[in-house]
Amino acid sequence: LHTTYQKTKTVKRKIAAVKAFFAYLIYQDKIDDNPMSKIRTSFRETKLLPRTISTSDLNSIFSKLYDEINKCKTDYQIKVCTRNAAVIELLFSTGIRVSELCQLKDKEINLNEQYIRIFGKGAKERIIQIGNPEVLRILLTYRSLFKDQIESCGYFFINKLGNPLSEQSVRLLLSHFEKELHLPQHITPHMFRHTFATKLLEEDVDIRYIQHILGHSSITTTQIYTHIHSNKQKEILRLKNPRNFIHRI
């Protein structure tokens, strides 16, 4: 294994696969000794801070989303552009994973009561409210435009063939905006989740509320966002430090 060029988690996963393979050969009596039995490995995983999207880039993306709707000339274009806006609005306003978004069933989103029911990792269920009127408005518009296809498919977000929208389709959608707007960084669905959590933390939302909203089983997972929050703290202490307003006579 060429560990120099591979991420730690990738190397650990490959070693685990090799160990499982030799254990299987032992179980099947194909070999007598497991060459991996005495191998001990220890890795220090690199702690990578989650990448977020700047407010200026978010403004550009959302402006582009609604500009495209306004410029549509056919019913088909209106439907596609409305769906695109609904997808990104829900991603950013709830912090849900792209897998959760694509697996969201029609029966799990209640636009009258303004909430979605999510079954996340480990089949854990959580409720997230739709708290922004503009998000609710675009979801209602999308639902009315795709009513028949949604009821036929059962999933809330669907593609042009009437099947559930795929995660790859969402990634391609973001790549489209990234290229159209000449954004300085590669945008992924998970970056909306990271940005959502970071913005909540900057607004002094208790980290345990954020943990529940994101569906993290452990507070340790959520605490990674406190590292980004420290950048905001650094900015505050640089620009708004009380010492800045004290002048020696």
Q: Which of 83, 155, 199, 225 is catalytic?
A: 225
Q: Which of 83, 193, 194, 199 is catalytic?
A: 193
Known catalytic residue: 193?
Answer: yes
Tokens found for residue 47:
């702690």
Secondary structure string (H, E, C) spanning 48-60: CCCCCCCHHHHHH
Known catalytic residue: 247?
Answer: no
Spatial neighbors of 25 by CB under 8 A, at least 6 apart, are 31, 34
Q: Which of 83, 194, 199, 216 is catalytic?
A: 216
Nearest-angstrom CA–CA distance, 19 and 28: 14
- Measured N-to-C along each axis, helices 167-180 and 189-202 cross at an angle, to the nearest 10 degrees, of 80
SS3 165: coil
H or E segment and range at residue 225: helix 225-239
Known catalytic residue: 238?
Answer: no
Q: Which of 19, 190, 212, 229 is catalytic?
A: 190
Nearest-angstrom CA–CA distance, 240 and 155: 48
Tokens found for residue 129:
């409210």
Q: Which of 97, 142, 155, 199 is catalytic?
A: 97
Known catalytic residue: 47?
Answer: no
Q: Which of 7, 121, 227, 234 is catalytic?
A: 121
Locus of tokens 């790859």: 168
Spatial neighbors of 168 by CB under 8 A, at least 6 apart, are none
Q: 104, 94 in Cβ contact below 8 A?
A: no
Known catalytic residue: 97?
Answer: yes
Known catalytic residue: 107?
Answer: no
- Active-site positions read 97, 121, 190, 193, 216, 225
